[in-house]
Amino acid sequence: MNPAPAAAVPRLHPKARLQRDEVRGRDVLLYPEGLVTLNATGAEILGLCDGVRSVADIVAALEQRYGASGLEQDVMSFLDGLGAKGLVIYGR
Amino acid sequence: MDAKPLWLLAELTYKCPLQCPYCSNPLDFAGSRFKHELTTEEWSRVFREAQALGVLQLGLSGGEPLLRPDLESLVATAQRLGLYTSLITSAHRLTQDRLAALKRAGLDHVQISVQAADAELSDRIAGTRAYRDKLAAYHFAKELGFPLTVNVVLHRENLHQVEALIRLAESLGAERIELANTQFYGWAFHNRDALMPTKAQLDAAWQVVLRERARLGSRLEIVWVLPDYHEQFPKPCMGGWGRAYMTVTPAGEVWPCHAAGRITTLTFENVRDRSLEWIWHQSDAFNRFRGEAWMPEPCRSCARRTVDFGGCRCQAFLVAGDAALTDPVCSLAPHRHVIDAAVTQVERAAAARVEPTALTYRAAPASRALAAKG
């Protein structure tokens, strides 16, 4: 699978659901017969995948939030990983 | 490590309009042990206790879960708890209105079985005319926006249809197809000699799966559940005993997997007597095969013990007569010869074109007759 361009708009596949795992104090992505454990950054990225923001918008939002730069690579590789599992798709 | 469960399989009832001869339900499903089904309130408490214990994935199964008139209410309870709910159904008599009501209640995912790729064979294996309802239900599920899994149990009679089954799932727009080679427990163990395929059948089907996976990529996930009698090493059954998984039966017994009730050397607790938390952490049945202390040789000194956890306890009990032995499927197990003998017998019979023995269909009268025989 090719990495998504910065202008692409990521969103969760309808089969996947972001869920707080209260018992273990973490966020998880639940989907048919499986789950992915998310760290705080991963959960934050997915929280920004609203079907409106592009990858570039999400990177910009995170960089502003943390006063950081150069997050694009991290965001893209995270989204590509979920894209390969069919959990993140692109398009409005 | 004190593991917490992630998965709960709720077997809501053992009543089922289908009679598949490989059913994983207990042979004595029609007996008194499973008769007094949990009420709506009792199931709701089980779901609450499961969520508090760490469960995130809930399978609603049976028998046929649609026969529970309170299914919508149970789904709504699970949804409020944040559980990811999968309905595992034959879809017999499932209407679009009922499925829409389940969607409104918060159901996340639908798994509908089919017994073969065409109506004639599918209905023959199911023991009833069910194929037409299934096809209609697949379309209802997609129209309602559900993620859809097509569930198929594979055996000698339908392995030649693997390609047609994958094409069917593709044409339906399913997300997943589970091609589950028959695991020999319950009714399938009873019908083993008639269900077991030959090695040549399995190899041919596997080649189809590889080809179709390459063609379909991420468009359709093709799950292939290994035919473990034909493997060299055992499956990591349930990801290890009492590590991540539990089953609650229709009358409230709690098992480490859906076949474990057959192990007569264990005593299983009931949610009517104990909390799920106590059963998970304290009960003898869940602790007996946890970790590695119980392991015999060759598991105890084997590097694979952290990979396969000694394999399947139910298989050790059924085939080797002792749940505490190495899974006899393992090529290193002292009882592997029993598995080899079963496989060889099937190969010889196929080579000589001997008709397999007749299947015993899963039905209440057969269940009571088998239970009476012991």
Q: What does the pLDDT look like over B135-165, one tens digit per residue?
A: 999 999 999 999 999 999 999 999 999 999 9
First to last CA, chain B: 39
Query: Percent of chain B scored above 90 by pLDDT?
Result: 96
Going across the sheet that includes A26-31, the strands are A17-21, A26-31, A34-38
**Closest partner CB to A15 (pick from B53, B54, B109):** B109
Report the Cα B281 to chain-centroid distance in Å: 24
Residue B171 pLDDT > 50, yes or no?
A: yes
Residues 14-33 of A with CB under 8 A from B: 14-15, 17, 19-21, 23-24, 28, 30-33
What residues form DSSP beta bridges with B225?
Answer: B180
Residue B51 has which token pair? 């969520």
B260-276 pLDDT per residue, tens: 999 999 999 999 999 99
**Which residues does B370 contact at the CB level (< 8 Å), separation at least 6?**
B27, B28, B190, B360
Mean pLDDT, range B310-323, rounded to an integer: 97
B281-308 pLDDT per residue, tens: 999 999 999 999 999 999 999 999 999 9
**Residue type for position B243:** R
What interface predicted TM-score (ipTM) does this complex get?
0.92
Backbone torsions φ then ψ of B175, nearest 5 degrees: -80, -35
B221 chain-A contacts, CB cut-off 8 A: 86
B89-112 pLDDT per residue, tens: 999 999 999 999 999 999 999 999
Query: Percent of chain A scored above 70 by pLDDT?
Result: 96
Which CA distances in Å does B162 have to A32, B19, B31, B191, B361? 22, 21, 35, 21, 23
- Tell me if A56 sits within 8 A of A43, measured CB to CB: no
**Quick one: pLDDT band at residue B3, thresholds 50, 70, 90?**
confident
| Residue, of B252 and A85, whose pLDDT is higher | B252
pLDDT for B33 = 94
What does the alpha-carbon distance between residue B179 and residue B75 come to, in Å, rounded to a whole number?
Answer: 26
Residue from B84, B175, B177, B179 to probe the interface with A (highest A Cβ count within 10 Å): B84
Query: What are the residue ranges of helices labelled H in chain B?
Result: 40-53, 71-80, 96-105, 119-126, 131-143, 162-172, 186-190, 192-195, 199-216, 276-282, 284-287, 305-308, 313-315, 336-351, 364-373
**Closest partner CB to A32 (pick from B82, B86, B218):** B86
Residue A92 pLDDT > 90, yes or no?
A: no
Residue of chain A whose alpha carbon sits nearest to that of B50: A23
- Mean per-residue pLDDT of chain A: 92
Mean pLDDT, range B213-226, rounded to an integer: 94
Taking CB atoms and an 8 Å limit, are B109 and A32 in contact across chains?
yes
User: How many CB atoms are closer than 10 A to CB B267?
Assistant: 11
Mean pLDDT, range B47-76, rounded to an integer: 98
pLDDT for A1 = 53
Token pair 């969607």: residue = B103
What does the alpha-carbon distance between residue B77 and residue B47 come to, in Å, rounded to a whole number?
Answer: 8
**Quick one: pLDDT band at residue B1, thresholds 50, 70, 90?**
very low
Q: Which pTM value belongs to this model? A: 0.96
pLDDT for B2 = 60
**Closest partner CB to A15 (pick from B4, B111, B147):** B147
